[in-house]
Structure 1
Amino acid sequence: MTDNEALASASNSAIAAAVARLAEASASGVPRPPVRDLIGRDDLAAAYAVQAALTERRLAAGARTTGRKIGLTSEAVQRQLGVDQPDFGVLFDDMAHTDGATVPAGSVLQPRVEAEVAFVLRAGLADGPLDTEQVRDAVGYGVAALEICGSRIADWDISLADTVADNASAGAYVLGTDRRTLAETEPADVVMSMSVNGTEVSTGTGAACLGDPLAAVAWLARTARAFGEPLRAGDVVLSGALGPMHPVSPGDTVTATLSGFGSVTVRFGTGEAA
């Protein structure tokens, strides 16, 4: 039994059933009903226990972790999904894409895209106060990023527990190539514009991410340590959306421009042979 399972009020059998439901969605490529009927809407310990079990499955299958994502940091995204607090998920090596890459059709279920600042840590965040100043010192550099959120829950019908269990709706991510240190660019001052096929669909600022993307990373650092898995040197941290996420379809091209961090682009495959 994991520590999260021990803290959860949901039964171990309910947690196992939620794991099985989400794993089946991944295997079949067909979203499944929410898991809140099994673990409750707000039992975060149970939800993170489900997430941890699914993570263990991926690691056992050969996946490698590359960092963490913070979700639900923007009030706009919280309103979209009907929740009122952040969450976090795990990033894996097969989620990473280079700037300008094409994401294969069907690789992310029900994809929606959001723009944010990603940080790469030069130092771990396991000890100390884990406040914003410590986070600032630990960041090696930041880049413009696109997160491709996905949901194994049908129709994105999620409560907070549903999205936490589903690895915080993490699907894939794309990092820009313009690396900036925090001496060069202040994340809270970033202005973001994201377009799909040349049409602007989302705007926002660094301040929309819990007031400062670095504050979001500090929240993650404290929370990850509390769960026994602190942030490590080399981790990629997706710090949270700067504006509303937007659904995408096969064939779409998404570009985000973040002042001070440059731009980043991703394309979505159609599944058709070249």
Structure 2
Amino acid sequence: MERETIIKLAALLKEAAETKSPTKALTELYPKITIEDAYKIQYENIQSAVLAGRQIVGKKIGLTSKAMQNMLGVGSPDYGVLTDDMILDEETPVSLDGFLQPKIEAELAFILKEDLKGPGVTLSRVLQATEGVMASFEIIDSRIENWKIKLPDTIADNASSGAIVLGSKIASLENLDLKYTGLVFEKNGEIVDTAAGAAVLGHPAYAVAWLANELAKYDITLKKGEIILAGAFTKALEAKAGDIFEATFDGIGKVRVKFTA
């Protein structure tokens, strides 16, 4: 794809975000768009945000569940970039005004105490480089009409990122086996789903290892202090005004968020 087209499609997604008016799928407008093209579009908008004063604070991993991979016909995850304006406090209600068509996912956030760079990053190396994990929500959003996305669409759209809500404490990995960490996901006081860490590529740290190794292709390092969202334990739920969500992770803690109009 020509550079001019990359810039054009990045601008289309940026305009959709700013006007809160979704665009047609990029794969509909340009059926021959590739995964490489999509990451270039993502990079274009991230660079634009950085030039505008935003800071990169981490990464997110998407499509970590078999259900989502099967839905989009892919066999591996994707990733997006987290900037400082995407980090929200669980004590502050979240206004839906900032989103187009938000959904919410319960995830673990890894906080790195050392740099991680592939190739060759393993699960054990991820655990060694992790300060701790936090209960978190990812608010995913799509600038594509009605979430009618294919893999290049979500990648170009920064892996359908919206915002993240972090819990109030960092849990040490000592005495934790994240593969068996249980989740209870509640909406408005009722349990709507349960899962264990094994739902995330078999172990959430495998997802972080995948990311470090994938980014090595572009000479990108996961840096000390970064927040890495490892992927959803369960399916995403639609978020509406008045909804209160709570996710409790065994041995780690909980995170809560309320949505307002």
TM-score by length of 1: 0.90
1:79 and 1:203 map into 2 onto residues whose CA distance is 21
Shift of 1:163: 0.2
Aligned to 1:20: 11
Match 1:153 to one of 113, 137, 144:
144
Shift of 1:85: 2.3
1:40 and 1:237 map into 2 onto residues whose CA distance is 31
Aligned to 1:172: 163
Aligned to 1:115: 106
Residue 183 (1) aligns with residue 200 (2): no
For structure 1, which runs of at least 5 residues remain unmatched after alignment?
1-9
2:32 and 2:170 map into 1 onto residues whose CA distance is 39
8 Å CA contact retained: 1:71, 1:88: yes
Shift of 1:79: 4.5
Shift of 1:81: 5.2
8 Å CA contact retained: 1:225, 1:231: no
Shift of 1:202: 2.7
The 1:128/1:86 distance shift into structure 2, 3 A limit, reads: closer
AA matched with 1:87? D
The 1:80/1:113 distance shift into structure 2, 3 A limit, reads: farther
Aligned to 1:102: 93
Match runs of 1:7-156 below 5 Å: 10-40=1-31, 43-79=34-70, 83-126=74-117, 129-156=120-147
TM-score by length of 2: 0.94
SS at match of 2:191: strand
Aligned to 1:3: none
Shift of 1:259: 1.0
Cα deviation digits, residues 101-155 of structure 1 (max 9, x gap): 2112221221100101111000001256211111111000001111000100110
Aligned to 1:192: 183
Report the more deviating stretch, 225-234 or 134-143.
225-234
Residue 207 (1) aligns with residue 215 (2): no
Residue 233 (1) aligns with residue 224 (2): yes
2:230 and 2:200 map into 1 onto residues whose CA distance is 8
Cα deviation digits, residues 170-214 of structure 1 (max 9, x gap): 100011123211113221111112122122223221001000000
The 1:199/1:42 distance shift into structure 2, 3 A limit, reads: farther
Report the more deviating stretch, 190-199 or 135-144.
190-199
Shift of 1:83: 4.3
2:149 and 2:2 map into 1 onto residues whose CA distance is 21
Aligned to 2:207: 216
Residue 269 (1) aligns with residue 260 (2): yes
1:71 and 1:116 map into 2 onto residues whose CA distance is 11
1:155 and 1:200 map into 2 onto residues whose CA distance is 26
Residue 254 (1) aligns with residue 245 (2): yes
1:66 and 1:102 map into 2 onto residues whose CA distance is 22
SS at match of 1:240: strand
AA matched with 1:94? D
1:124 and 1:39 map into 2 onto residues whose CA distance is 37
1:211 and 1:143 map into 2 onto residues whose CA distance is 19
Cα deviation digits, residues 208-267 of structure 1 (max 9, x gap): 100000000000111122123210000000000011111111121111111111110011
